[in-house]
A and B are shown apart, each in its own frame.
Chain A
């Protein structure tokens, strides 16, 4: 079983739509959680960290459910520029290295 699992998509949505991505992780020792964004043939860039209480950054909301080992990302009012691959990333307690999911591709159309 992969340590971080994501639905690969693609998710095709129209501009203005709300879309949600889910991610599950298998290692209960995971301590820190992130969503990274990766544009085609570019490097991953941190979108937001995910906190236990849930957190919001503009149109983006991230939530964590430690009991279910589940992370989510909600994007409201999708923009064309949101088209990218969204990577679910975890870091285990005691380690500084990151473990990535394969990513979920989002395509926002006009």
Chain B
């Protein structure tokens, strides 16, 4: 069974540009999460989809970040315009159900560098 995949693995862009990150969850997983790790900090939650609906977006830093999950399958996270402080590793995770007994499986992450 394929795991969570993310694309691209690395992205280097200039301040002010736009970047779109993609996440393909494990097939059949209704729950999809985005997290981010900024250098020197802990991994932090950004938002949670249940199928195509945003369940919780309380972690989104500001309105420069837009997440979508078309048809409840893959998800994209767009940063527009990118700022220097957006640099970090963006992880996507998926789970079959919500709750402590359902493990969140993480993708390999997208390493974003804004120069």
Contact = CB atoms under 8 A, between A and B. Distances in A.
A55 to B, nearest CB: 13
Nearest to B107: A43
A100 B91 contact: no
Interface of B: 4, 31, 33, 35, 41-45, 48, 55-56, 59, 91, 95, 98-100, 103-104, 106-109
Given A96-B31, A96-B98, A97-B48, A46 B43 contact: no
Contacts of A96: 31, 33, 48, 55-56, 95, 98-99
Given A43-B108, A43-B109, A45-B106, A99 B100 contact: no
B27 to A, nearest CB: 18
Interface in A4-53: 4, 31-32, 42-46, 49
A42 B107 CA distance: 9
Interface string A61-103: 0000000000000000000000000010001000111111111
A90 to B, nearest CB: 10
Contacts, number: 47
A2 interface: yes
The 8 closest A-B pairs by CB, nearest first: A32-B100, A43-B106, A96-B98, A100-B43, A102-B42, A97-B45, A100-B42, A46-B103
A108 to B, nearest CB: 23
B45 A99 contact: yes
A98 B42 contact: no
Contacts of A2: 42
